[in-house]
Amino acid sequence: MNAFASGEGRAPFALLGCLLSLAIVAPAQAFGDVKGLSKMGYGKTKDGEAVELYTLQNGKTTVKIATYGATVVSIEVPDKNGHVADVTLGFDSLDGYLGEHPYFGATVGRVANRIAKGKFSLDGKDYTLAVNNPPNTLHGGKKGFNRVVWKAEPVESPDGPAVKMTYTSRDGEEGYPGTLTASVTFTVTANDELKIAYAATTDKATPLNLSNHTYFNLSGKGDATILDHELTLAASNYTPVDDTLIPTGEIVTVSGTPLDFTKPTAIGDRIAKLTGEPGGYDHNLVLDARAGAKATVYDPKSGRVLEMSTTEPGVQFYSGNFLDGTVVGRGGQVYRKHFGLCLEAQHFPDSIHHANFPDSVLRPGRTYTQTTTYKFSTR
Ligand code: BGC
């Protein structure tokens, strides 16, 4: 549902949108001072908490973000012929996000990716987490940051319409130490970028790894695999894993492996060479320390290009291997294996158990920051 209300020339559309949405959700509300930003009611959680949906519009790009899970619900961008479509996987309404799904669009935390056996020690103390991805903990545990309602406030930014979402995770929540206050600011710039800026502070040392779990399918339909998308990664190394997807601790060259995307390569070209079940890419790539995009995805059919840049040391490249047709998404679309890809900028998986990986512990008095940008264009 469209909810444009701010920005010149949009009033008739806003009126139409409001009339259409009256019966289902509260009408959109514009923020007078923040051009390109509007919000509307998006329903309630099962506990009765109200959820809002923000719309950020700038350049040729429109992004919708829900306060439930600080979730990117949609990203609408044109193809090479100017046809605008959503390049993410997701649902038509909040109900879909409240149900079982593999983190579509969500902000993941307190610790994105896996922690081996759901246990860690920090400063001499042992901690136990929920084993929600046996035998490991995945994406923050049973009720991660993707399953809570974030508080939202509009932000005035010279870069474009922005919304800041904040969540305070209590000491001991999901087994993690310390009260952690996290914020995620989403901005859509005039250069068709979705900029995601994270910040967090804590009152006790805690492992922390925030990421965004948007599934992209640049076709704009989400009705076929992403195997024909070409991927380039500024990553000369990766972290090999055991058969439960926990890193062995080694940092190894991608050269001569199907993980070598240092030159543009179709995702499907070498995917069959990967062993293990269910097959496909689900690997942390170690990003090279050089300027520019760290990942580029190009869909030859639509001409859409996605470039990701990040301040993080790694990216989990996940080719939607566990999508098995059980999730029915937007417009009734059944999401099958490889129908979407994720580029999860992050610290390396299970860093808490590997002293040779970049440190992922946040300590009191320090502020965690991360900026990851997804830029859209056509070729
Ligand atoms: C993980 C996958 C997992 C997916 C959805 C990715 O970040 O690496 O193994 O299946 O998230 O949960």
Whether residue 24 is predicted with pLDDT greater than 60 in this model: the reply is no
pLDDT at 31: 67
Whether residue 21 is predicted with pLDDT greater than 60 in this model: the reply is no
Which protein residue's CA is at the shortest distance from atom 7 of ligand 1? 113
The mean pLDDT of 287-301, rounded to a whole number, is: 96
Whether residue 19 is predicted with pLDDT greater than 70 in this model: the reply is no
Out of 78-82, 163-167, 271-275, 315-319, pick the least confident. Answer: 271-275
- SS3 string of 99-161? CCCCCCCCEECCECCEEHHHEEEECCEEEECCCCECCEEECCCCCCHHHCECEEEEECCCCCC
Q: Could you tell me how far CA 337 lies from the centroid of its own chain?
A: 19
pLDDT at 7: 29
- Which letter, b or e, does each residue of 224-257 get, where b requires 16 or more Cβ atoms within 10 Å of its Cβ? ebbbbbbbbbbbebbbebeeebbbeeebeebeee
Is any ligand 1 atom within 6 A of the Cβ of residue 317? no
* 184-221 pLDDT tens trace: 999 999 999 999 999 999 999 999 999 999 999 999 99
Residue 93 CB-density burial (10 A; 0-12 exposed, 13-18 middle, 19+ buried): middle
Is any ligand 1 atom within 6 A of the Cβ of residue 97? no
* 130 contacts: CB under 8 Å, gap ≥ 6: 118, 137, 141, 142, 174, 175
Q: Looking at 139, 213, 229, 283, which residue is catalytic?
A: 213
For residues 62 and 37, what is the distance between their CA atoms, to the nearest angstrom?
10
Which protein residue's CA is at the shortest distance from atom 9 of ligand 1? 282
Whether residue 140 is predicted with pLDDT greater than 60 in this model: the reply is yes
Identity (one letter) of the amino acid at 158? P
**Do the Cβ atoms of 312 and 347 come closer than 8 Å?**
yes
Concatenate the DSSP letters of all residues of 41-56 into one string.
Answer: EEEE-TT--EEEEEEE
Torsion of the alpha carbons at 296, 305, 65 and 348, rounded to the nearest 10: -10
pLDDT at 291: 87
For residues 319 and 61, what is the distance between their CA atoms, to the nearest angstrom?
24
Tokens of 30: 């514009």
Is any ligand 1 atom within 6 A of the Cβ of residue 322? yes
pLDDT at 20: 42
Compute the C-alpha angle 332/272/328, nearest 5°.
10
Percent above pLDDT 90 for the chain: 89
CATH number of the 4-378 domain: 2.70.98.10
Comparing CA positions, the residue from 49, 198, 51, 207 lying closest to residue 121 is 207
The mean pLDDT of 303-307, rounded to a whole number, is: 98
Is any ligand 1 atom within 6 A of the Cβ of residue 344? yes
Task: State in Å: Cα 337 to ligand 1 middle.
Answer: 13
The mean pLDDT of 218-240, rounded to a whole number, is: 96
Compute the C-alpha angle 77/83/84, nearest 5°.
30
Which protein residue's CA is at the shortest distance from atom 10 of ligand 1? 322
For residues 2 and 64, what is the distance between their CA atoms, to the nearest angstrom?
9
| Residue 213: active-site member | yes
Whether residue 259 is predicted with pLDDT greater than 90 in this model: the reply is yes
* 148-183 pLDDT tens trace: 999 999 998 999 999 999 999 999 999 999 999 999
For residues 23 and 20, what is the distance between their CA atoms, to the nearest angstrom?
7
Is any ligand 1 atom within 6 A of the Cβ of residue 103? yes
Q: Which numbered atom of ligand 1 lies nearest the CA of 282?
A: 8
Tokens of 297: 């995805």
pLDDT level of residue 237 (50, 70, 90 thresholds) = very high
Task: State in Å: Cα 318 to ligand 1 middle.
Answer: 7
Whether residue 372 is predicted with pLDDT greater than 50 in this model: the reply is yes
Whether residue 328 is predicted with pLDDT greater than 80 in this model: the reply is yes
Task: State in Å: Cα 274 to ligand 1 middle.
Answer: 16
For residues 149 and 170, what is the distance between their CA atoms, to the nearest angstrom?
14
| Residue 344: active-site member | yes
Tokens of 69: 């899970």
